[in-house]
Amino acid sequence: MLVERHPETAAASTLVLRVADWPGHLAGQHVDVRLTAEDGYQAVRSYSLAAPADGDQVEVTVQRTDGGEVSPFLADDLADGDAVEVRGPLGGWFVWRPETPGPVLLVAAGSGVVPLMAMVRARAGASRAPFRLVHSVRTPDDRIYGAELRRRVAEDAGLDVTWIYTRKAPDEDRRGTGRLQPEDLAAHGWPPDFEPTCYVCGPTGFVEAAAAMLLAAGHDPDRVRTERFGG
């Protein structure tokens, strides 16, 4: 049942859902949300959990897809108190556990940052593993969790965040605009001999490109985990 909704960007909203008997979850896991229309038509979509569970309340961040069947409804029309069918927690591969030693490199494009934000939030107070997040966005207005990430960089020791802008960069950003390049990961990621665990999430094309850059740089394939959400 929807408890609360707040906007993250013009196109993304975070939904807080209350799920009876929620068993808790790992950072990186997702839920399947099933909507059923009056005529019985059903649509199921997967959404990453954005934060550690708060009792029986969980958060997902939904990026509205123009013309989409499910995301505009969830992002705009679902009302407080409305019920949706939620199954989870799901997945056991694209997860980070606070007891995992060693540095972590998070690489995301767009709303691919959602499961990685769950890892950043789960780390706070639970792990001292150094984290670096490289987030590719179109413009400064598309930085999902931008304000919280800037606050956490100041408060959470050992967390670094870099935004890569593909369309429009802030005036003070000397990199300018353009898709993620190997030099970006060399400058803002970890060298392979630090043996970081790398998590890459975003649209399929981005994930393939970023994972290929990490492998070409010498990262062990066993420590590069990926999640693709279409696009």
Partner 1 sequence: MAGATYDGNLLAGPLAEVFAAEVTVAHARCAGCGRDSVVAELAVYGPDPGLVARCPGCSDVLLRLVRTPDATWLDLRGTAALRLPT
Q: Provide the binding-site residues for partner 1, judged by CB under 8 A.
A: 30, 32, 44, 46, 87-88, 90-94, 204, 208, 225-231
Say which amino acid occupies 206.
F
Contact 75, 13 (CB under 8 A): yes
Residue among 85 and 148 whose Cβ is closer to partner 1 = 85
Min dist CB 155 to partner 1, Å, is 31
Contact 225, 26 (CB under 8 A): no
Min dist CB 16 to partner 1, Å, is 21
42-48 sheet: strands from edge to edge: 42-48, 30-36, 85-90
Min dist CB 173 to partner 1, Å, is 31
Residue among 91 and 196 whose Cβ is closer to partner 1 = 91
Min dist CB 94 to partner 1, Å, is 5
Q: State how far Cα 109 lies from the chain centre.
A: 9
Residue among 14 and 48 whose Cβ is closer to partner 1 = 48
Strand bridging mode 131-137 / 159-165: parallel
Min dist CB 182 to partner 1, Å, is 20
Residue among 191 and 221 whose Cβ is closer to partner 1 = 221
Min dist CB 11 to partner 1, Å, is 20
H or E element that contains 16: strand 12-18
d(CA 154, CA 72): 34
Residue among 74 and 149 whose Cβ is closer to partner 1 = 74
Min dist CB 227 to partner 1, Å, is 5
Cα→Cα distances 67→64, 72, 119, 181, 208, Å: 9, 8, 30, 31, 25
Three-class DSSP category at 13: strand
d(CA 201, CA 226): 6
Residue among 96 and 163 whose Cβ is closer to partner 1 = 96
d(CA 146, CA 229): 21
Place of tokens 């965040």: 161
Residue among 146 and 202 whose Cβ is closer to partner 1 = 202
